[in-house]
Amino acid sequence: MSVAAGALVAASGVSLGLWAASDGDDAFAGSTAASAAERPAGTAPGEGPSPSPTRSYPLSQAPRTIPAVREHTAGRGPGWRPERAHRVVVDDPALADEGRLIAGELKLTYAGEKDDRRDGDLRLELNRDAGANPESYTMTVRGGTVTVGAPGEAGVFYGTRTLKQEIRGAGAAPEGVVRDEPAKQRRGLMLDMARKPYTADWIEDRIRELGDLKFNEIGLHFSDDQGFRIESESHPEIVSEDHLTKAQVKKIVDLAASRHITVVPEIDSPGHLGAVIAAHPDLQLRNAGGGAVRGAIDISQAESAEIVDDLLNEYAGLFPGGQWHLGGDEYQALVVSDPEASFPGLAAAAREKYGSGATVEDLTTGWLNDRAATVRAHDRTPRAWNDGFFRGGSVRAGKDIQVAYWTGKEIGARQPAEYLSEGREVINYNDEFLYYVLGEPLTFVYPTGERIYEQWTPLVLRGTTAVPDRYDDQILGGSFAVWGDLPRAQTQDQVAAGIRMPLRATVQKLWDPDQPELPWTEFRALAGKLG
């Protein structure tokens, strides 16, 4: 939320002349939270009034962006407008991609590394500080130039996103200093492309949208009962006809990396493997009566682990990001009243592996741990859906497996505080607010941006009730999720339109969970203005 130290003067009706009488440099006295100040009509950099901050300019107002900047220190001056003669310069070759991108977007000249300073420059600087949040940044607009500095490349990129929105929304960047950083480190969109395939172009468009909004993660759930949607060399027999090639995925991954977005792959197991089982029916889980269990692989068979690990190892080379989603939810062997009686083969395998008192739950947890070990060997941090973690049992899920909390409706449902009290890290996928389920099956309704904006925070993990503040640091962030349960219910263009405002509301609350300064109607209007 913007700091508004300067607002007291305006609210009390005191003349701005009072600021002129103050001691020291008044160029950065106070802050406000409104639209950008503009250069006097008819002037350009170097023409007309001096671009240096003077008392002849009113105190600037903070930029209006999505997500909102967290702090703006106001100044007096004309602000900054992009012009074709202006340069983008960097102080480190690592910032070349960020520099070229913003230069193209604002139609400026990318000049690379330069030591000289010119009127109108946009300067991008790395201020490496091992102790600072690498996604934080400072943007200074003063003396006819803009400087974006950050301890990491991601922070510089986010500073350029703020500048891009300022120019698009108000035509100018206001004089002063923005100091900004996200509250939460994981800010994502998860896309179910297994049930409903999406084109590579559509996914790339979403990545550009996410980047401009300062999201840093896109999850691809590309394997489920209805389809396996990415080319495979280790098991081509499982791939659906409608799928993405590895070349297309590499282009998606590279585009995401250029926007500081991690692509998080998900091959859900041991449930939701119908597309794999269709090509390997001998791996289908069957109950005591011989009945096939839809989507569930028989985890008592060594071949089941081998094929899933083959895929995890294969795709580790395609998805270089540090995150991996293992699924782990809705294994149908565990939704019956007596799993040991219904699935004697699983029960026997559990006892053989973990001892006489072991259960099917223990065997399932062991499966999750083994898959976590597979991705951990590739330096990935594993996560799994919360209903893949069980209370009690002789086998416990690895402590480093992050909890993707989405529901409290499963058999044996556990309150979010149970996971948190165990010291686990959690990512918020609350299905009450953040699940966009095509066709609205069961009790799902399409989420609205307004409801997320006004009622949800990262602490609201289940339903509408927040967990205690003491767990805030363990909640790493959140992710909006699009599920394709009834894939023909919407076209991919309708999906893009339907999630537009929910995405903006979600990132606002992940960037700053406090009560937003703008009412919803103004936030929605701002989103329309910014595009």
- For every residue of 47-70, DSSP letters joined together read SSS-SS--TTSPBP-----SSPPS
Please give the helix or strand (H or E) that residue 8 lies within, else none: helix 7-12
330 as an active site residue: the answer is: yes
State yes or no: cis peptide before 51, omega within 30 of 0. no
Phi-psi region of 214 (alpha: psi -120 to 50; beta: other; left: phi over 0): left
Q: Would you say 270 and 312 are in contact if contact means Cβ atoms under 8 Å apart?
A: no
CA distance 42 to 182: 38
Interstrand relation of 435-437 and 426-428 (parallel, antiparallel or unpaired): unpaired
Q: Would you say 41 and 70 are in contact if contact means Cβ atoms under 8 Å apart?
A: no
User: Annotated catalytic residue: which of 330, 361, 425, 432?
Assistant: 330
The amino acid present at 239, given as its one-letter code, is: V
Cross-strand bridge partners of residue 211: none
Beta-carbon contacts of 475 under 8 Å, excluding residues fewer than 6 positions away, are: 184, 420, 425, 426, 427, 428, 458, 459, 461, 467
Q: What is the CA radius of gyration of the chain?
A: 26
Question: Which residue has tokens 């559990």?
Answer: 350
- For every residue of 234-279, DSSP letters joined together read S-GGG--SS-B-HHHHHHHHHHHHHTT-EEEEEEEESSS-HHHHHH
Q: Would you say 198 and 492 are in contact if contact means Cβ atoms under 8 Å apart?
A: yes
CA distance 59 to 211: 31
Which tokens sit at 393? 């049992």
Interstrand relation of 109-113 and 71-74 (parallel, antiparallel or unpaired): unpaired
CB neighbours (10 Å) of residue 230? 24
- For every residue of 80-100, DSSP letters joined together read B---TT-EEEESSGGGHHHHH
Residues forming the active site? 330
